[in-house]
Amino acid sequence: MAHSINSKTAREKLEPRREPYWSRIQTGLFIGYRKAEQGQGTWIGRRRDEDGKQVYRALGTFSDYDAAVKAANEWANAIEAGVSSKGLTVKQACEHYVKHLAMHKGSASEKDAEGRFKRLVYAAKIGKIDLARLRTSDVKSWLGAQIEQDEADAEDEEDLRRAKDSANRNLASLKAALNLALRDRLVATDAGWKTVSKFGDVGRRRTAFLPADQRKALVAACPVDLRYLVKAMLLTGARPGELARANVEHVDEDQGTLELDGKTGHRVVTLSSAASAFFAALVKDKDAGTPVLSTEFGQRWNKDSWKKPFKTAAAAANLPAAVVMYALRHTAISEMIANGMDSFIVAKLAGTSTAMIDKHYGHLRHDKTRAKLDAVAML
């Protein structure tokens, strides 16, 4: 018995079943509707191949019959144009690309691409997606997830730049694999990835700034050991890793200074009166070789030990999701510049270059200068 699936009303009257209800589109091409017990039904395409075998294709969910027919026709037309009728996942497309590199580019290129795909594609959600159904949002989510992880670990602008630069290279490898699948007629269109762009400026990003009320809320939400580390970052603008490596012997209470070792080498930073008192209290009665800052278990801090507690504290303080550990350094440097400190001095204190300070915080210096100019009556 034939059943109509052309209208929503007719489909609603159908009995749920595993076998689709079929409708002929043209000779050799049919579209089927599978009625579900609950929720939206799904559409299936069916055609006869050159060997006389029936080939099926899951088309997905559509709100109306015409949209489903369009999808079935696109599938059939792609096969007529030589595109493979077999569903290909993103993972399989990447594996196809790796084999291509081994044949045409050599083992170095092959190993580089395969390493990226093993880390980021094969076991990931995107790897399981049918290439014909890959959406731009899928690729953007995949790309963004890489940066979110690296942002949480970042200690300064250079870490963030490298993270975005690395993500750009990963995107280039993925798009190369998908474009090869398109050239080899394994998929009909590149609409799912063509418009996804790499990060344009890998040396600059918008970082969360914490105003005074948010800083106080964060400090209050931190457990005692993390609270000291957070305060140390806000009082110095130093990287968390530099502070974690500092020992009691590196605090000079007489001079009001702190010695730090980081990615830019050794430096001695001047502490404010508040910071000097803070560090003096931290090192009181401690041995010279012990860490200035440590976890509740007496261990030296590292990114693995501060990441989760910081995230929990930030959430408890109702801070924006963009707030990560690096936001404290960014906030401290922003406040120094906004309060009129010379960029050369700030760069020395923070262990960075004046060029980096001017690039990321120059707008704050301009605002301060503008305020001073506005106070001058020229005319």
Rounded-to-integer distance, Cα 117 and Cα 341, Å:
46
Closest CA to 193 of 131, 114, 111, 241: 131
Q: Could you tell me the pTM of the whole model?
A: 0.54
- List Cβ neighbours of 238 (8 Å cut-off, separation of 6 or more): 232, 260, 262, 269, 329, 350, 351
Closest CA to 227 of 147, 316, 148: 316
C-alpha distances out from residue 56 to 48, 69, 143, Å: 9, 14, 32
**What stretches of the chain show up as alpha helix (H) in DSSP?**
8-12, 65-80, 90-104, 107-120, 136-153, 157-183, 212-221, 224-236, 240-245, 273-283, 303-316, 326-338, 343-350, 354-374
Closest CA to 227 of 302, 326, 293: 293
Task: Kindly give the pairing relationship between strand 42-48 and strand 54-60.
Answer: antiparallel
Cβ-count burial 91-104 (b if 16+ within 10 Å, e if not): bbbbbbbbebbeee
Q: How far is CA 184 from the centre of its chain?
A: 31
Rounded-to-integer distance, Cα 204 and Cα 160, Å:
8
Which pLDDT tens digits describe the chain residue by residue (379 residues)?
678 899 988 998 899 988 999 999 988 899 999 998 888 888 888 988 777 788 888 787 888 899 889 888 877 876 775 555 566 889 989 998 998 898 888 888 899 999 999 999 999 999 999 888 899 999 999 998 888 766 666 666 667 777 888 899 999 999 999 999 888 777 778 888 999 988 876 644 456 789 999 999 999 999 999 999 999 999 999 999 999 999 999 999 999 999 999 878 899 999 999 999 999 999 999 999 999 999 999 999 998 899 899 999 999 999 988 788 889 999 999 999 988 899 999 999 999 988 888 877 877 766 667 777 787 766 7
CA geometry: angle 297, 303, 307, nearest 5 deg: 85
